[in-house]
Each structure stands twice: as C-alpha cells, then as structure tokens.
A and B are shown apart, each in its own frame.
Chain A
C-alpha cells in the first residue's frame, strides 16, 4: 500500500489514471456497441453486464498505468508486469464485442478472411465474452498486485540502503528522488 500512496500522492499520476480509465471505458463501451455513435447522434444501450465488465477493466487499467510507469522508471517492472497489462487490455478488447466489432475484423480482413468467416469469429468471441473479460480482469489484477509488490520491495530496499544515490545505479534517478522526497 505504501507504493500506492507514494505514486498517487503525485497529482499528475492521479490525472494519468483518470485519463486512462476514461479512455479505456469509452473504448470498451464503443467497441461493444453499448456506446453507439451514429447518424442519429450518440446513444447508450443499457447492457448492465457489459457496462459493469467494461468499467471494472477500465478501472484496473487506469489504476495500473501510473504504477507501471513508475515501476518502469525505477527499473522495477518485469516483463510479466508489462506483458500482463498488455495482454489484459487485449483480452478486454476481445471480450467487448457485439454485433459489429471494430478491432479484430480489420485485422482479419487485412489477412484475407471472408466476411462469413469473420462473422463466425465475431459470434464466437461474443459467445465467450464473459470468460474473456474474466481473463482480462485476472491478468490486470495480477499485474496490479505484482507491480505494487515490486514497488514496495524497491522502497524497502532503498530505505535500508546507505544512500539513495546507490539505488540510482538501477536506473530512474528522478523517480527514485521523487519517491525519496515523499518520505
């Protein structure tokens, strides 16, 4: 929790989290056609399950992003953290499909798939939207918890180090100073 407190003490990180949350929520709701932008304007189809899943995934992503950025600056982020976040976002996008998905069809048609085979993929994705959304939430939660742990460990190591400068050798001088200045 110390890492969360330290990272979110910076108002820019709060702003980054908020921006990421809003952007991902809008993207997920748009790609699942809950948020419809058409000739008649903008409307929202109340699909409670989709809206709940999109908000949970967007919230996890928004919360995670500033922590991941901080961990990368401190060189405390591993491939699992970044990969888990990216995969979580991808599974989230795959789960949020309805009747005219936007991301996958573009890729599939670029690869030469026919309209009916893309429709079959769309329908399968839509059928398994709940497991896909669950995988996404699990991956994002895993990345979130492990990034917080890594940052906590980094903080405790730095506290026990003779001086802060020695931690600079691991990279991210400014981030270390930023964390140190909050102590």
Chain B
C-alpha cells in the first residue's frame, strides 16, 4: 500500500517536472520570439531612418559634386619670366623622365606636348618647369596665374596663353577645368600618342625629344600652400638655398636639354650652357 502511494507520488512528481520543463521551454520560445520581434522592429526602424539619412547625404554630395568648386576664382595676367637660367641638375640628370624614343615634331620643330587637367595638382606643379624652360626658346603671351586652387598648388593658367618660338612647338592641353567641365579636346594624333605613351591614362603627361614624364617631376610638398607670387618671386630671385627653386630649375634644365638635343643644339645661346651640355651628354 505504502509502495503504491510512493509510486504515485513519484509519477506525479515526474509529471509536474515534465510540465514545468515544457512551460519553461514555452517561456523561452516566447522570449526568443519576443527578442526576434523587437530586433526586427528595431531593424525596420533603423532601415527607414538610415534610408532617409542616406538619401539626404547622397543628395548633398551630388549637389556639391555637380555644383563644382570654381566659385570665386580670380585669375591675374602675369609675366612668364621665372628668372635667369641656373646650373641646377636633377639627380639623375634626366630627372623623373623616361626615355621612350618617340620624337614628336610640328612644322619642322621638335614638339613639347603636355596633357593634363586644371583640377590636377600634379599637373599644376609641372607647369613651372615647362614655362621656365620654354621661356628661353620663345615668348609666351596671355599667361595668367591660376587661382591658388589647382588642387592646392599655385600654377600658371596656360589655357588661353599662346607661345611663339622658332625652335620648339608647344601644345598644352587641359582636358578639364577645376570644376571638371570639359576644356580642351585631344586630336586623333594626340589621342594616339597619349594611348601609346601613357597606357595607364595618368596625368600629367609631358613628352619632348623622346623623353616622357608621367606624374611629378619633383616633390610637390615643397610648393603646396604657397601663393603664386611667393613662388614666382623666389624663382626670379633664384634663391639657390630654396629647395623648391632648385627642384623647378633642375627639371627646367632637363626639359631644356631634351629640346636642345632634339633641335641639334639650337639656339646656341641656350644650348651651349655647360649645364645643358652636361645633361645632353647623358641622353640617348
């Protein structure tokens, strides 16, 4: 009798335990479901809020991109003169140029071709050396200073400038302005040269006398943040202790040597300078 009562108690206890486990599991499932629902609600709210924020951010970014950044730009007419020639030689003597062997001519004269853009800071840095070199072979007119805005690098604006020389032809192409609006288009010949010499399509491309420069000819951190007038005055004074002046003059001498080399060392007044002869002696 006692055993029967005991068995019944155990059975009841087991039933209660089973029910209790079942209830706990149900409770856990409810909690899990609740947690999932809360997370789902949160995620939904986040998506709506995030979507609105993202749309606003995109609209602002697109507006800024399409508006451009050319507002308030002022350009002044300047002289192309950058001081007397110096004896600076880059190391190696051809600087950052590479020998490509493609000699460009126009009207019987060697041609210097520059392809860049006005938004490009690396292009802005190279115009100083080009102007300094070409100023010895001919005359620039209608040169203006670009606003100190070509990617934080002061530079010349050569878009409306003209250049006359008996010794060298100069083609300057800025494909886009500072606001990324189309500026100069390339002729089919220029497109072919660009594709041949610059297959990765980086700018600037400077090619003259069988030598080509892609990118920077010197360290642009030397020039960034300086005003146009400050750089021009330093160049005109020829301050040799100024590393920027030496760097620009060194690159200008390399370009001068390429032109002299391609032009049978004409004119003598420019090409007979010891520094130019020294660089030419390293050319192929």
Contacts and interface: CB of A to CB of B under 8 A. Distances in A.
Contact of A99 (B64, B203, B218): B203
Contacts of A146: 43, 46
Contact of B117 (A44, A123, A138, A142): A123
B201 A118 contact: yes
Contacts of B46: 145-146, 149
B151 A47 contact: yes
A156 B38 CA distance: 12
A156 B214 contact: no
A113 to B, nearest CB: 9
Given A127-B180, A130-B65, A118 B200 contact: yes
Interface string B50-76: 100010011011101100000000000
B4 interface: no
B224 A33 contact: no
B201 A116 contact: yes
Nearest to B115: A119
Given A116-B186, A128-B65, A160-B35, A100 B220 contact: no
Given A38-B216, A40-B219, A47-B121, A100 B50 contact: no
A142 B122 CA distance: 35
Interface in A147-183: 149, 152-153, 156-157, 160-162
Interface in A118-132: 118-119, 122-123, 126-131
A33 to B, nearest CB: 7
Contacts of B62: 131
Interface in B194-252: 194-196, 198-204, 214-216, 218-221, 224-225
Q: Which secondary structure dominates chain A's binding surface? A: helix
Contacts of B198: 115
B32 interface: yes
B135 interface: no
A133 B58 CA distance: 10
A40 B244 CA distance: 12
A82 interface: no
A44 B200 contact: no
Interface in B26-60: 28, 31-32, 35-36, 39, 42-43, 46, 50, 54, 57-58, 60
A123 B28 contact: no
Interface string A39-56: 111011111000000000
A135 interface: yes
Contacts of A161: 28
Contacts, number: 137
Contacts of A100: 122, 200-203, 214-215
A116 B119 contact: no
A98 B125 CA distance: 14
Nearest to B53: A138
Contacts of B281: none
A142 B39 CA distance: 15
Interface in B101-129: 116-117, 119-123
Given A38-B215, A119-B175, A127-B65, A45 B151 contact: yes
B58 A135 contact: yes
Contact of A157 (B32, B95, B219): B32
B218 A40 contact: yes
Contacts of B151: 45, 47, 98
Q: Which 10 A-B pairs have the closest CB atoms?
A: A100-B202, A115-B195, A118-B201, A127-B180, A43-B221, A134-B61, A40-B219, A119-B201, A99-B120, A131-B61
14 contacts: A36-B219, A38-B215, A45-B221, A47-B121, A99-B121, A99-B123, A100-B214, A105-B202, A116-B186, A130-B65, A135-B58, A138-B50, A153-B36, A157-B32
Given A36-B221, A99-B215, A153-B36, 17 more contacts: A36-B216, A36-B219, A38-B219, A39-B95, A39-B96, A41-B219, A98-B151, A99-B121, A99-B203, A100-B214, A105-B200, A105-B201, A122-B201, A127-B176, A128-B65, A131-B61, A131-B62
